[in-house]
Chain A
Amino acid sequence: MTTEPALLSLTEVAQAIAQKRFSSREVTLACLGRVAQWQPRLNAFMAIETDEALAAADAADAALAKGNVSGALHGVPLAHKDMYYEAGKIVTCGSHIRRDFVATTTSTALQRLKDAGTIRLGSLQMAEFAYGPTGHNTHYGPVHNPWGLDRVTGGSSSGSGAAVAARLTFAALGSDTGGSIRMPAHFCGVTGLKTTVGRVSRAGAMPLSQSLDTVGPLARTALDCALLLGLMAGTDPDDPTAVGGPLPDYMAATRESIKGLKIGVPTAFYVDDLDPEVARALDETMTVLKRDGAEIVQVELPDQRQLTAACQLVLAVEAAAFHKRWMIERPQDYGPQVLMRLQNGLAIPGVSYLEAMRWRGAALAAYLAAVAGVDAVIAPVAPVAAPTIAESDVGNSPDAEAVIQRLTRFTRPINYLGLPALAIPSGFTKSGLPVGMQLIGRSFDEAMLLRIGAAFQRATDFHARVPKSA
């Protein structure tokens, strides 16, 4: 195990602090040191709160010395996507409009992590109002990919992907409405969990689409994601859409073998028009899973293009409805691409929107029937590795939406179906860019995905590679 605390995983550092092998101050200083080193090149942080973080670390150390432990993440410093409200803190949502917005409440997901003992390093960059899959941001500049500074991170959780990859934070909350956790996980080489709609409370998280929004973590390992999900999941009086009932032991799931599991690989759509290096990573990932005892079988899925279309109809309308007041009062304060995409929602009739919503249950039932014989499905997150910042800077050009749809074509069907998906680092291109695969599960079966992801990470080291800072 490394002696550099910032390079430990979340579960490792939590244990190291609890066992007093590192103090919270030492760990926090190590993270802040890496932030100082990387931030000028990555632009991953929206705010860095050095003094407050160190004061909180000292308080955590003092509490631990007295035998008072807050929870499983006592004294662990984290930073999150700047859309999770924390009372008294500015939450920009990556926008100019909310540049000075001070939250008066704290989001449930964030509060549950604070209750577990985490301390705040600052906040992380993101696409404006979480409405962009590349990592560009007109107001605050693009976030740069630590594996290639001329490359995008993916979005909308751009800062989360970059900061976790560069080991500036042990994990970070993201959000996934159309791929916003999985895209940066894929482009930046980290593990990202898109949760089932309803698995984690969205109270106090900036909304984009009430039907599609999900809260989830980006972290270094599936085990770390399991720890975070276990802390955040479950019912919440502040969010009636959060589902109750007993929660699985996600950490225990990561220790289970995958021998005998059946993993489906789609016969079409997700395997069409792949960059050869992504196709190779998919093949090699399946080889590893087979070697670990899983059986790979082909699955024929319903037409995924229809799901993508339905997702676009729902997202466009709901986002426009959330933003209508500012679209009237402050259109000049949006970035051109975000305003353009919000305007798309104006052109979709109410009947079309409701047809897309009415079909959702039937579409989910058809998908579940198609995958009834397997435990999970594996597919690429995107057809290509990270494009350059320059080539993906399409702004509000006439073909911008087409570019966005091409990049996110493998993530949007899953959002429409509300299913969980775990993005795992699965290889590197010859030029050194990460490639990720997504494991797609049944509703509320995150445990299965974490089990498979953890087994894959025991057999590979893609998740453990760290980008060079020089």
Chain B
Amino acid sequence: MTKPSPKEIKAMADVAGLPVSADVAARIANSIGPAFEGFAAVAGTLPLDLEPASFLLVQAAKVSK
């Protein structure tokens, strides 16, 4: 997963209905870049049979020391 460029962010914001200036797009790219980099090792590696509700199953499981 690569972090979006300011140009891509500008296009995404337009699609979302909230256009941003080039300066704001550059600032957003700078702000969220580390999140994309930090998650890069996980992105694109998850198995098919894994959905968000798996969190609730793990949370509810009785785990003790």
Contact = CB atoms under 8 A, between A and B. Distances in A.
Interface of A: 196-198, 243, 262, 303, 305-306, 308-310, 312-313, 316, 324, 327-328, 340-341, 343-344, 346-349, 352, 354-362, 364-365, 368, 372-375, 396, 398, 400-402, 405, 418, 442-444
Given A197-B59, A361-B50, A365-B58, A306 B41 contact: yes
Given A316-B32, A347-B32, 19 more contacts: A198-B59, A310-B39, A313-B36, A327-B18, A340-B24, A346-B9, A346-B18, A347-B25, A357-B52, A359-B50, A361-B54, A364-B59, A368-B63, A372-B63, A418-B55, A418-B59, A443-B58, A443-B60, A444-B59
A374 B65 contact: yes
B18 A343 contact: yes
Contacts of B16: 324, 346
A215 to B, nearest CB: 17
B39 A328 contact: no
Contacts of B51: 358
Given A313-B39, A347-B4, A324 B65 contact: no
A362 B52 CA distance: 10
A416 B17 CA distance: 28
Interface string B30-46: 11101111110111101
A405 B13 contact: no
A365 B54 CA distance: 10
Nearest to A343: B28
Given A352-B1, A357-B52, A344 B31 contact: yes
A309 B33 CA distance: 10
Given A343-B20, A442-B63, A312 B32 contact: yes
Contact of A359 (B8, B34, B46): B46
B42 A310 contact: yes
Contacts of A443: 58-60, 63
A362 B13 contact: no
Q: Which of A198, A352, A375 is the most central at the interface, judged by chain B CB atoms within 10 Å of its CB?
A: A352
A309 B31 contact: no
B12 A364 contact: no
A340 B13 CA distance: 13
A347 B13 contact: yes
Contacts of B54: 358, 360-362
Given A306-B41, A324-B18, A340-B27, A346 B59 contact: no
Contacts of A198: 59
Contacts of B24: 340, 343
A347 B52 contact: no
A398 B60 CA distance: 41
A306 B50 contact: no
